[in-house]
Amino acid sequence: MEIIELADLALKEALKLGATDVSSICTKTNENLVRFSNNSITVSKNIKNLELFLYLAKDKKRIMGSSSNPNIEEIKNFTSNLIKACEALSPSPDYTPLPRIETQYLSHGIYDQKLAEDEIDLIEFVESAIDASLRAGADRVSGSLMTSEENLAILTSGNATGQDKRTKILLNVRAFSGDASGHGLSCSSKLENFNPYEAGKEAGEYAKASINPSPWEEGVYDLITLPTVTADIIQHIGSFASAFAVDSGLSFLADKINQKVSVNDFTLRDYGVIEGGLDGRGFDDEGFPTRENVIIEEGVLKTYLHNSTTAKKFNTSSTGNAGIIDPHPWNLVVDPGSVSIDDMIREVKKGVMVTNNWYTRFQNLRSGEYSTIPRDAAFLIENGKIKHPVVGLRISDSLPRQLANIMAISKERRWIEWWEVSIPTLAPSMLIKSVVITKALG
């Protein structure tokens, strides 16, 4: 059966059993992945899944479920069990009817048939990335290359219906030169924009440039975040913009609508569908159309991300970001600035430039106090020039302070999605003043 037929079967079954609200989404995915380390392939993977997601409400009681066993008999059993479990729940005061959307969604076209083919030669791309890294000065190279195709179909009791599909190719390269390392990425929804050689070269060049790090002192520095680091910061801000997070008291953006949270040059948007975007679709989990939302406009917080339930609580409309419980961003985009990275470096008297990071953790979600660890290449900047590579840094700051202290945003931006950044983000480099950088007691 086609996925739209499976979604339809679940919808009809649920309605027949008395559900008043139903959102039925069927997803078919095909992922091909090659992992490599020490210049050699470690494993090749193929993962094929067919999944049914069902949200039901009956008598204001709400339940959702996912099943990876969607054949006709199992869909009937699963739906019936879900209804029985739903009937046993208590009515929810937060119940909100699913939106009525008389819309037939069409595929948005951010799709490349070449990436959907199982026969695509990933080995050749990996070879190109490794070769470029080695030529640039690395002595060993690791990483992963993934292609994915996703087909979705939705039917809701609110009359939304439609299908969508998307593809992407993600390459993550880490090159080593002795103990020094560099990182490179190439992320694209279409093969024509994918460049494994450049990603490998970038990783290799950073690894080479990071050899022989010199000592540094902990303190307050101006910080240049290259796009991979910016994307990590931005994905957290995007998640903090969820109205569910705000309503649960778990966001530093609470009570800040229409308030200045950043500088005039900073605008953050979320798109359900955008050319080049690595995620997203034309409809959300409630069947509501996704769209462009300006979360922060010229430094002012303009909206949270909503589903129908949070929208009702906040007396506004859905932004097309459901998640049944927790609204979430699809593709985050930071508006470009007007400077180059070289311009930024020239502006800095005492600073550091970080190319990659990981392990971002919060002490207090409401204040936004957090720390994160730069990894791979990082450089000390003095008097407008890169002085030398540094290691062992920790950015120990707070998101509201950093948002308010953005001094410059680069013209150039890149799509970022990798192991540490799960929300696709079109990210520039940023210069942030007066950031606390700490180091470990040795």
Partner 1 sequence: MINLDEDLLSSVIDLAQRLGAEYAEARLHRTKHLGCLSRNGVPEPALIGDAYGIGMRVIHSGALAFSATNDLSKENIKNMVEKAVKKARASSPLLRHKVLLSKEKSIKANWRSEEKKSVDNVDFDDLFGLLKDIDNLIKDGKNDVSFPNRLLASSILLEEKIYMNSNGTIIKSRVPRVGFSSYITTFYKGKITTITIPSGYSQLGESGGWEVIERLEIFDYVEKEAENLSLAVKSEQKPPKEIVDVILGPQVSGIIAHESAGHPGEADRILGREAAQAGESYLKPNDLGIKIGSKEVHVSDDPTIPHSNGFYLYDDEGVPARKRKLIDAGIIREFLHNRATAYEFKISSNGSSRATSYDREPIVRMANTFVEPGDYSLDELFEDVKLGVYIKSFMEWNIDDKRLNQRYVGLEAYLIERGEMKGMVKNPVLEITTPRLWSSVDARSKEVEFVGATCGKGDPMQGIPVWTGGPNMRLRAIRLGER
Under DSSP, is residue 298 helix (H, G, I), strand (E, B) or coil? coil
Q: Which of 7, 14, 25, 36 binds partner 1 (CB under 8 A)?
A: 36
Distant-in-sequence contacts of 80-84, Cβ < 8 A, 24+ apart: 80/13, 80/17, 82/14, 82/54, 82/56, 83/14, 83/17, 83/18, 83/19, 83/56, 83/58
**Span 107-136, contacts to partner 1 by CB under 8 A:** 118, 123, 126-127, 130
Interface segment toward partner 1; rule CB under 8 A; list 207-215, 289-297, 391-399, 409-417:
391-399
Q: How far is the CB of 77 from partner 1 (least distance, A)?
A: 10
Q: Does 416 bind partner 1 (CB under 8 A)?
A: no
Distances (CA, A) of 184 to 147, 205, 260, 365: 17, 9, 34, 30
Interface segment toward partner 1; rule CB under 8 A; list 9-17, 192-200, 259-267, 392-400:
392-400
Q: Does 249 bind partner 1 (CB under 8 A)?
A: yes
Q: Does 340 bind partner 1 (CB under 8 A)?
A: no
Which residues, at least 6 apart from 251, have a Cβ–Cβ distance to it below 8 Å?
240, 241, 242, 245, 365, 366
Which residues on neighbouring strands pair with residue 382, listed in sequence order?
350, 385
Q: Does 72 bind partner 1 (CB under 8 A)?
A: no
Residue nearer to partner 1 on the CB measure, 258 or 442: 442
**Contact (CB, 8 A) for 377 and 250:** no
Distances (CA, A) of 355 to 26, 248, 314: 38, 33, 38
Q: Does 78 bind partner 1 (CB under 8 A)?
A: yes
Residue nearer to partner 1 on the CB measure, 222 or 376: 376
d(CA 149, CA 33): 12
Q: Does 73 bind partner 1 (CB under 8 A)?
A: no
Residue nearer to partner 1 on the CB measure, 81 or 264: 81
Q: Which of 359, 382, 383, 384 binds partner 1 (CB under 8 A)?
A: 359
Q: Does 311 bind partner 1 (CB under 8 A)?
A: no
Q: Does 242 bind partner 1 (CB under 8 A)?
A: no
**Span 40-69, contacts to partner 1 by CB under 8 A:** 40-51, 55, 62-69
Residue nearer to partner 1 on the CB measure, 93 or 192: 93
Token pair of 45, please? 């993977």
- Stated as kind and residue range, the H or E segment containing 403 is helix 399-404
